[in-house]
């Protein structure tokens, strides 16, 4: 199968994208307070974690976009943006929302959402902008169409079948 | 009626089995295709990344078919497609580029090492242009037709066997 390249997501391959900062943070509590008892061991572990962590990194070397990890100043706008981000798919990790994902592209998408909301666009407009570009796949809140109609109709149909079955069974019992 | 109904669970099982088997034999396509194919190029105004050539402005990408390559110096498959881009350029194709999340120094080093097929390079610091194009990763290559419409999207690196296909799409886009 052909695989297109995508940004590597930290959740995808355990260990492969542990950043320097995170690796040392993870290792820090394992060291005893009075200094490491097995100094060589700690160095080896640390070296291993760092060398395993860096070479496969497929992230750019630019810092995250301005609004990727910063909330909007206006709490009402931030709440709107956050609610929208929870329902937008991260295109790299594909199983997470952009609010949950730490992928670079998800950060850029969060920045885009916040910028647009701050500029006065409604969440619906921002969602529409993204759907125009990526299709319904980008939203976890799919619009009603003939493809998605079963999502709403199937439960009703199943419920109706259940009622019919129940009615028949109870009738027979009474008779 | 009852005689027929007795087969219902088996039929149901067969249906579920077929569904699962088809999913196993032919896993779903996980590539995210741009919904912009067939539409005109969105309004882009990217500043030049390098001093020696212009950036990307939608109004200028008209008049003849061309390739718009979304790439980055930190992207490894972009190295793999560099020889094919050079070949396309030698075939007379104009190739413009959007450099995603990149710095001039890194791009200059990348071009010096892997070849430089680009007529324009736009600086896309926060992936805004990439998102506007409906692109979900690097590298991706768009065929822009003479009227400035997105005619075709190639996802992933351009391999040797893709060159003819792209030339065909460019021919169609005249």
Tens of pLDDT, residue by residue over B35-88, are: 999 999 999 999 999 999 999 999 999 999 999 999 999 999 999 999 999 999
How high is the pLDDT of residue B47?
Answer: 96
Q: How many CB atoms neighbour CB A160 within 10 A?
A: 10
How high is the pLDDT of residue A42?
Answer: 55
Query: B132 in contact with A at a CB cutoff of 8 Å?
Result: yes
Query: B103 in contact with A at a CB cutoff of 8 Å?
Result: yes
Check whether A27 has a pLDDT greater than 50.
Answer: no
Q: How many CB atoms neighbour CB B37 within 10 A?
A: 15
ipTM: 0.86
Per-residue H/E/C for A3-22? CCCCCCCCCCCCCCCCCHHH
- A97 forms beta bridges with A89
Question: So where are chain B's domains?
Answer: 45-172
User: pLDDT, tens digit, for every residue of A36-71?
Assistant: 455 555 555 555 555 544 434 468 888 898 899 999
Contacts of residue B21, defined as CB under 8 A and 6 or more positions apart, other chains included, come to none
What separation in angstroms does the CA of A2 have from each of A79, B156, B157, B159? Answer: 40, 9, 10, 11
Reduced to 3 states (helix: H, G, I; strand: E, B; else coil), residue B142 is: strand
B1, B35, B98, B125, best to mutate vs chain A, most A CBs in 10 Å? B35
Nearest CB to B137: which of A6, A62, A108?
A6
CA-wise closest residue to B36 among B172, B138, B152, B173: B152
Cβ–Cβ < 8 Å for A10, A17: yes
Which class for B72: exposed (0-12), middle (13-18), buried (19 or more C-beta within 10 A)? buried
User: pLDDT, tens digit, for every residue of A70-128?
Assistant: 999 999 999 999 999 999 999 988 889 999 999 999 999 999 999 999 999 999 999 99
Nearest CB to A5: which of B33, B77, B126?
B77
Cβ–Cβ < 8 Å for B141, B158: yes
User: pLDDT, tens digit, for every residue of B40-50?
Assistant: 999 999 999 99
Query: B75 in contact with A at a CB cutoff of 8 Å?
Result: yes
Query: Percent of chain A at pLDDT above 70?
Result: 66
Check whether A175 has a pLDDT greater than 80.
Answer: no
Cβ–Cβ < 8 Å for A150, A110: no
Q: How high is the mean pLDDT of chain A?
A: 77
Q: Which residues of B touch A112 (CB under 8 A)?
A: 126, 128, 131
Task: Compare all CA atoms of chain A with the CA of B80 and give the residue at the minimum distance.
Answer: A5
User: pLDDT, tens digit, for every residue of B108-156?
Assistant: 999 999 999 999 999 999 999 999 999 999 899 999 999 999 999 999 9
Q: How many CB atoms neighbour CB A38 within 10 A?
A: 11
Query: B134 in contact with A at a CB cutoff of 8 Å?
Result: yes
The CATH fold of domain B45-172: Glutaredoxin (3.40.30)
Cross-chain residue pair B32–A2, CB shorter than 8 Å: no
* A residues 9..68 contacting B (CB < 8 A): 58-62, 65-66
Query: Percent of chain B at pLDDT above 90?
Result: 90
């Amino acid at each position: 199968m052909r695989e297109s390249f995508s940004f590597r997501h930290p959740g995808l391959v355990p260990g492969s994208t542990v950043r320097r900062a995170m690796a040392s943070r993870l290792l820090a509590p394992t060291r005893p307070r009075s200094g490491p008892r097995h100094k060589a061991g700690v160095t080896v572990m640390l070296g291993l974690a760092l060398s395993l962590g860096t070479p496969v990194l497929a992230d750019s070397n630019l810092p995250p976009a301005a609004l990727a990890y910063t909330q909007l100043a206006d709490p009402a706008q931030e709440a709107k943006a956050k609610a929208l981000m929870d329902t937008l798919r991260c295109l790299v990790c594909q199983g997470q929302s952009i609010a949950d994902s730490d992928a670079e592209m998800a950060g850029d998408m969060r920045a885009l959402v916040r910028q647009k909301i701050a500029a006065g666009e409604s969440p619906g407009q921002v969602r529409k902008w993204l759907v125009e570009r990526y299709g319904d796949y980008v939203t976890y809140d799919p619009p009603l169409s003939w493809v998605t109609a079963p999502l709403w109709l199937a439960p009703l149909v199943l419920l109706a079948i259940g009622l019919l079955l129940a009615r028949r069974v109870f009738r027979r019992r009474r008779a | 009626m009852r005689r027929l109904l007795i087969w219902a669970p088996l039929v149901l099982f067969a249906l579920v089995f077929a569904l699962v088997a088809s999913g196993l034999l032919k896993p779903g396509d996980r590539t995210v295709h741009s919904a912009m194919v067939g539409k005109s190029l969105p309004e882009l105004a990217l500043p030049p990344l390098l001093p020696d050539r212009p950036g990307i402005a939608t109004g200028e990408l008209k008049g003849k078919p061309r390739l718009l390559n979304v790439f980055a110096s930190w992207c490894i498959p972009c190295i793999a497609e560099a020889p094919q881009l050079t070949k396309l350029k030698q075939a007379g194709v104009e190739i413009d580029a959007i450099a995603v999340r990149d710095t001039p120094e890194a791009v200059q080093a990348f071009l010096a090492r892997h070849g430089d097929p680009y007529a324009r390079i736009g600086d896309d610091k926060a992936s805004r242009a990439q998102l506007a194009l409906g692109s979900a990763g690097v590298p991706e290559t768009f065929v822009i037709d003479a009227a400035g419409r997105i005619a075709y999207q190639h996802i992933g690196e351009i391999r040797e066997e893709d060159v003819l296909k792209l030339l065909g799409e460019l021919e169609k886009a005249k």
